[in-house]
Structure 1
């Protein structure tokens, strides 16, 4: 049956090549029309089944919470330049109203200054209560030490979580700024005493309003777009627009570097890089294939015809993909290169035998018929085995894996059809046109005679050949057993992407990653419970929740009692006492006490591996390994030790300004008004409340990169214990890896069974079917073994190439066996000089 069909194709191609080409051209135009609508989506979640609860939850968050899709502008440099840069660039980004709704890089200080104490925990308010009883510096420092010791020294759990560590860093930052300002006052270096005092009190009470890293050399600017990450066209336009603004602003600040990072920036980089790489690799593959053709066949036209055949096959496949799935994902975007690599195989076998027959003097019609008889069976079998190897991936629950199998498998068959119909017709038409122009065209024989010699040699020594192959295989089996899987998704991205470099830097500077988990709740109370449980986990760097801004009514009631006491203490503070020379030792004593307290905290941080806190502490107490670094406290103490009378004058000026500002800001923060949803500013509400207004978002940021599989495994377990509705890109990726692993193993076993059954059906001989499988099995072992020897690892993407290896491995064996069955036994030399050449070239 198959031979009859192949003979009919050969006969029709020989007699009516123009008709075949015309029909193929019409089909190509139609498929190209459909291919124009083919979209490209590089989101990791697109590889997952859209019905999966994780994906449904993730899509729900993306669609209903504006803050779930953010563009992060990250900049590095010195503190002052970073702040000026942020102040300059934020208004320019806000002007892009078509694409941007909000830009955040500072805290909402108005809300904090009106409700700051109500947002503090009851325990912290109790510990700091005495700090508001006397604002003169000596008693104030004494009460600061009391509060510090209660909060950090006497409490074993004071820095047990990342959130508590961050709070401690913030406290030290405020003390560092305060002591540094005192030193300036004492040294007479301050011109505007009111402004500096006011700034110091404000910073001590509410912290730094800019989104700076603990070491002050990185700033984050969060840009909320008017669209979601799924609207890739707008993502490309907006991220590119922001990058152009960054480029203009960065030029004003020497030494400052900035760029975009986060999910949207990475999506843009993935899209542009994939499109560019796909174009480059496709063009490069075509060029290299053409060069290989020219060198191997010593002719110009045949490789061009093969290239045209491949382009036709790719267009047909692209049209098919557009009709069936509508868009390409991370996996399916590589289909063109796969089709080129596999499809050219078919063309090489046809051209190889056709040119051989024409060189031996066969007519055009006889040559094309005999070519398809000798190569057609192998091409059809090779195409089917390869296609079904890909089709087995369709059993996967992963949308990416399933679509990859469908598109690649169908692409192989479409390329086979293009090769069987289009290429023979073009070869016939080309030779007929050529024969009319010249009486006789000399066809050069392009047999690889060295392959014939090689085949004769190994056929004379089969035992030695098999023994050497067996030894190599055993060695490489051992090597292949040690192959590792690289689970790091970012390692699959193109090298040198600035968005990834900034993401790694962000993780290092802020101890949190933009790849986070999310969960929606139906109440503020539920948000609070989940947020508090998450903060107890040491693997968590930061938790963001509406409950941070709306304490429960019960908590607000308890805090109001303490806030009223703070107000009473502040209102009694009307008298300032100047620091006299006789009082200086008391001031020094309290500052030294503070220094000792911070040294003890630094030691606790060092033993706990909390480097950010230890580093911040050393800015105050100095570094014992560096005698010249005394820290801001050491500097202040050395100034106070001086006998210069002007020093106390400066300290009293600071006391006067600081005490007044501290009292005013504290009274403002000491409001006992109830905080509810109506009280919360809109810019804060929009970060946490769904568009419907009925649900709330809790975002949980791990402090390590989630692309470390060991960490991701623990992260997933903890998140699932926290809440069964939790979602997020890290969890989507983990589930995808699990699906790919399970389905990949099943697909591999299934493909081997199907391939064997197809070979058995083709050869009608179990021995020949098993022989055809040998190149596949040995080739796969050698490939993985050599990968391991060269330090390469399996990844989510190169695993998708395994069906390609299966297809090629079977294909080569099938062609050799088919040609061997056509030729007489003992004519192994002819098989290898002709079909062997094609196998070598295709590989």
Structure 2
């Protein structure tokens, strides 16, 4: 006990003599921590919650490395004018290609069917019976026999007993609808040519008819032509959060510009890349908003518990500085926050404020007993200082033990919370006492704030003492 008392009195004497220097150093460290915290990236990787030696995690990483994660951005265009929707899609793609910053992260843009690929390999995707029907249908080169063969082939496939097998699944039904749309486009072109054969050269119209029949609509319209969708394939993994953020920011800028050019259409985006970007933004919001709510609730509680507004301000200011110190440490060490560690600020507010309450309440009591600020501070360190330090260290050690787990997320959680407790402790036993000594010299007996006595705690203690066996 004597050694502990000597240590605390020595610390108190240092703060009394150097309290201005402590505050200046604290402000400098605060500014450096704010700068360092800019290096922190938010990552929302589910795999971080799994042990590093998990074979499935290794398999995921290998697949992700080889194939880029299979990530896509889906661009949707909704409207009623099919031609305007195509123009909008083409304008969007041109905007992507003209954006050099965006194209650094784009592997491919899949706007319409690759006719060369379908021409070279399309028949290889057909079943044997479908190849036979295709051969029979295309063996008639004249228009009327070709249409007759097309009609006979369609009737055989989608009427009679074979129809039940061909339309037994939703996918087959969608393929049938797609074929009908394809035929509709073919016959509309044919009708337009027959009504005005001089309007378009025969070779051009013939090529259009052939392309429409063989490939259908080159753009990705839905069954009722009210939505066009195409995809952008990035060349980065969905876990490369910094690049994903840049990618989606540029896509959103293009989307806003295109939407202004085509006000009658609705341009949107979705896909795993967009979802990941939005999740990261949501995690960033979750880091700030709950912490602010916690600070407000604690402030309200302190207004009815501590009789000096400036002491409340000093306590909350020291708490915030301790948390910012910890974010600065994260910014120069781990440099990332995941879904689990995003709640760090809220936990540190709840845990770190306890140490400050001990310091302020004891300092206030000694000041009310007539001690000078210096004497009250030395008595506070002597009475409560070692208890505060031991409470913080035991809590920090408990969190540091989590660093030995096999999960990256839980390991980071333990390290961040452990160092966060220590940073809050440093703020509460150095910065807070310096603030109390420098700015807390006014007479604390002249407070206008109503103070909650919490007399029920005293009554509860007496009741527990009288009936201790029942309580045990």
> Which of residues 265, 275, 288 in structure 1 aligns to 2:274?
265
In structure 2, the partner of 1:84 is: 87
User: How far apart are the structure 1 equivalents of 2:221 and 2:403?
Assistant: 48
1:325, distance to aligned residue in structure 2 (A)? 1.9
In structure 2, the partner of 1:249 is: 258
1:407, distance to aligned residue in structure 2 (A)? 0.4
1:153 aligned to 2:155? no
1:415, distance to aligned residue in structure 2 (A)? 0.8
In structure 2, the partner of 1:358 is: 367
1:285, distance to aligned residue in structure 2 (A)? 4.8
8 Å CA contact 1:357, 1:367 repeated in 2: yes
Q: Secondary structure at the match of 2:74?
A: strand
Q: Secondary structure at the match of 1:224?
A: strand
Residues 151/89 of structure 1: CA separation in 2 closer, same or farther (3 Å cut): farther
- Aligned ranges for residues 485-504 of structure 1 at < 5 Å? none
User: How far apart are the structure 1 equivalents of 2:465 and 2:264?
Assistant: 68
1:412, distance to aligned residue in structure 2 (A)? 1.3
Q: Secondary structure at the match of 1:367?
A: helix
1:341, distance to aligned residue in structure 2 (A)? 2.9
Q: Name structure 1 gaps, 5 residues minimum.
A: 468-766, 772-843
8 Å CA contact 1:18, 1:429 repeated in 2: yes
Residues 400/79 of structure 1: CA separation in 2 closer, same or farther (3 Å cut): farther
Deviations 1:663-722 (A, max 9, x none): xxxxxxxxxxxxxxxxxxxxxxxxxxxxxxxxxxxxxxxxxxxxxxxxxxxxxxxxxxxx
1:169, distance to aligned residue in structure 2 (A)? 4.0
8 Å CA contact 1:393, 1:401 repeated in 2: yes
> Which of residues 302, 316, 321 in structure 2 aligns to 1:307?
316
1:403, distance to aligned residue in structure 2 (A)? 0.6
User: How far apart are the structure 2 equivalents of 1:220 and 1:466?
Assistant: 73
> Which of residues 122, 133, 139 in structure 1 aligns to 2:128?
122
> Which of residues 144, 151, 171 in structure 1 aligns to 2:154?
144
1:108, distance to aligned residue in structure 2 (A)? 0.2
8 Å CA contact 2:291, 2:346 repeated in 1: yes
User: How far apart are the structure 2 equivalents of 1:445 and 1:466?
Assistant: 43
- Aligned ranges for residues 555-570 of structure 1 at < 5 Å? none
1:106, distance to aligned residue in structure 2 (A)? 0.5
In structure 1, the partner of 2:405 is: 396
In structure 1, the partner of 2:72 is: 70
8 Å CA contact 1:128, 1:147 repeated in 2: no
1:411, distance to aligned residue in structure 2 (A)? 0.6
8 Å CA contact 1:62, 1:69 repeated in 2: no
Residues 152/333 of structure 1: CA separation in 2 closer, same or farther (3 Å cut): farther
1:109 aligned to 2:115? yes
> Which of residues 26, 38, 43 in structure 1 aligns to 2:40?
38
Q: Secondary structure at the match of 1:221?
A: strand
> Which of residues 173, 188, 203 in structure 1 aligns to 2:181?
173
1:319, distance to aligned residue in structure 2 (A)? 3.2
Q: Secondary structure at the match of 1:99?
A: helix
1:414 aligned to 2:420? no
> Which of residues 82, 96, 99 in structure 1 aligns to 2:99?
96
- Aligned ranges for residues 429-828 of structure 1 at < 5 Å? 429-431=438-440, 434=441, 442=445, 444=447, 448=451, 450-453=453-456, 455-456=458-459, 459-460=462-463
Deviations 1:133-160 (A, max 9, x none): 44353454123312445995264xx456
User: How far apart are the structure 1 equivalents of 2:467 and 2:187?
Assistant: 83
User: How far apart are the structure 2 equivalents of 1:362 and 1:96?
Assistant: 69
1:209 aligned to 2:218? yes
Q: Name structure 2 gaps, 5 residues minimum.
A: none
User: How far apart are the structure 2 equivalents of 1:445 and 1:358?
Assistant: 17
Deviations 1:209-238 (A, max 9, x none): 212333433332222345444443443333
User: How far apart are the structure 2 equivalents of 1:465 and 1:174?
Assistant: 86
Question: How many pairs were matched up?
Answer: 460
Q: Secondary structure at the match of 1:412?
A: helix
Deviations 1:341-379 (A, max 9, x none): 321222123212322331232332442244345544553
User: How far apart are the structure 2 equivalents of 1:413 and 1:374?
Assistant: 20
User: How far apart are the structure 2 equivalents of 1:150 and 1:50?
Assistant: 58
Q: Secondary structure at the match of 1:251?
A: helix
1:278 aligned to 2:267? no
TM-score by length of 1: 0.47
8 Å CA contact 1:7, 1:373 repeated in 2: yes
- Aligned ranges for residues 367-406 of structure 1 at < 5 Å? 367-376=376-385, 378-406=387-415
8 Å CA contact 1:69, 1:225 repeated in 2: yes
In structure 2, the partner of 1:318 is: 327
TM-score by length of 2: 0.79
User: How far apart are the structure 2 equivalents of 1:190 and 1:46?
Assistant: 65
User: How far apart are the structure 1 equivalents of 2:173 and 2:381?
Assistant: 74
User: How far apart are the structure 1 equivalents of 2:118 and 2:31?
Assistant: 64
1:423 aligned to 2:432? yes
Q: Secondary structure at the match of 2:100?
A: coil
1:463, distance to aligned residue in structure 2 (A)? 10
User: How far apart are the structure 2 equivalents of 1:150 and 1:108?
Assistant: 35
1:197, distance to aligned residue in structure 2 (A)? 7.8
In structure 1, the partner of 2:15 is: 13
8 Å CA contact 1:11, 1:369 repeated in 2: yes
1:112, distance to aligned residue in structure 2 (A)? 1.8
